[in-house]
Amino acid sequence: MSKKKIKTALISVFDKTGLEPLIDVLVGHGIELYSTGGTETFIRSLGFDVNAVEDLTGYPSILGGRVKTLHPKVFGGILNRSQVESDLSELQQFEIPALDLIVVDLYPFEKTIAGNATESEIIEKIDIGGIALIRAAAKNFQDVFCISNKEDYASFINIFKLFDGAPDLDTRKEFAVKAFHTSSHYDAAIFNHFDTKEDHLKLSIEDSHALRYGENPHQKGYFFGDLDELLDQVHGKAISYNNLLDIDSAVNLMLEFYDGKPAFGILKHNNACGFAVRDSLSAAYADALIADPVSAFGGVLICNKILDLETAKAIHELFCEVVIAPDYEVEALELLKRKKNRILLIQKETSLPTKTIRTCLNGYLVQDKDLKTDKIEDLQTVTKKEPSASEVDDLIFASKICKHTKSNTIILAKEQQLLASGTGQTSRVDALHQSINKAKSFGFSLNEAVMSSDAFFPFPDCVEIANNEGIKAVIQPGGSIKDSDSINYCDENNITMVFTGIRHFKH
């Protein structure tokens, strides 16, 4: 049995949007309708006949509407198997009509909890009858067609007409899968709202986007989430998997500077290769770029102010994959659009997740996101020499970048400019050597620069190497059993060092 003629339909929806065209088609093809409450009233308002479910069951809607369809005459009509003689016999015995099409949506639970609803209002938006109808219809897709989302009305109408009112099995199964998604997503939302222990992981994300490929062309890739809530793409090619990783790193880094003076960052492979804070956006971009113009090629650019024409002219000379800004001056946007593949994004104000999730072995790792930003009040001077006001500013600046750079990392900075970073090294000494060599290769002097480390120094070797290059201020978490060795070296060489007490590993 592949095709199944639809002769009867049960329709019960909370949201009536888009329902009228569906009713028109069903009535036009002689489908017998059953309905409840507000949907029944709506259908009658269109001038169509409809059977009240309470007439079928012999029971009215009770308990303030909590119980409407939970009855054997309803679920028997859905769950009967047309190929099982005993099922058909029982339908006849108990005068139960077979129901071929179920059109049901669910109370808007997620919309309710997103508002200022009370707990009693939230509880009343936990659907019981609707979820049961959807699951029953989806389970019996061999005989029943289930529509669980108003977004599928138009698609169903086309299918209904294509198959002359008798959709095939594959299509019924396809819609059953959608129905199971609806029910599982709904249950996950309810559980996650009421769960306070956080010792279970239930993820259900309705928005999905197929990407060109994953990290490499031979890998499939998908993004799950509502990207439009955070970013408006105003120009350019489709965003790739790797673009998204860089955009994520860029957005999270710039949030540390979002409300301050003009700041500009350039990222490559999830790490900042250039960053500066200046009095103008164009100056911030220029000083971010000179930190590493080689790595900036093909990078992701981000700023915290409206992108002006002067800055756009400078950016236009660089090949970059993505530009992110709170907005663009009209002329700046038109200029940047001249490169047809350049991705231009407007970042909107929205909340980001407070947890991070990643696969690990045969499971998942979940943790609180590192939302701790080192501030002046967190700094503990552990050396005899106190940092100057300008050094404190640079130390905080370097620490913010360090927090968002792959471990092991060392950040070198001066006058609110990233000079160089050592990223993702297996030893802190290697990270320091990498950052020193990189800074020198682009002509920077490290005299009076500051150094930030994402974790403590187990030995005094890093402060010794830094001192030999002219670095005179250091910020690190502290916590090593040999902290005193590094402190003593700093005291002996007139270096100021502050502890934050907070480690910022990023793997």
Q: Which residues contact 389 (CB under 8 A, 6 or more apart)?
A: none
Cβ-based neighbours of 499, under 8 Å, separated by 6 or more = 379, 380, 382, 476, 477, 478, 479, 483
Token duo for residue 303: 């700023």
H-run or E-run covering 343 = strand 343-347
Q: Which of 16, 125, 139, 385 is catalytic?
A: 139
DSSP state, residue 479: -
| Cα Rg, the chain, nearest whole Å | 31
Of residues 16, 269, 337, 433, which has the active-site annotation?
A: 269
**The two three-digit tokens of residue 228, written as one number:** 């439009």
For this structure, is 150 an active site residue?
A: no
Tokens 């088609």 locate to 25
Catalytic (active site) residue 269: yes
Cα separation, 145 vs 24, in Å, equals: 18
Q: Find, among 133, 117, 33, 119, the residue nearest to 74 by Cα.
A: 133
* Contact partners, residue 166, CB within 8 Å, separation at least 6: 3, 4, 5, 6
Which tokens go with 408? 């092991």
Separation between Cα atoms, residue 448 and residue 219, nearest integer Å: 46
E strand map for 164-256:
208-210, 222-224, 231-235
Report how far apart, in Å, the C-alpha atoms of 195 and of each of 187, 188, 191, 323 are: 12, 10, 6, 39
3-class secondary-structure state, position 401: helix
Phi, psi of 346, deg, nearest 5: -105, 120
Active site positions, annotated: 139, 269
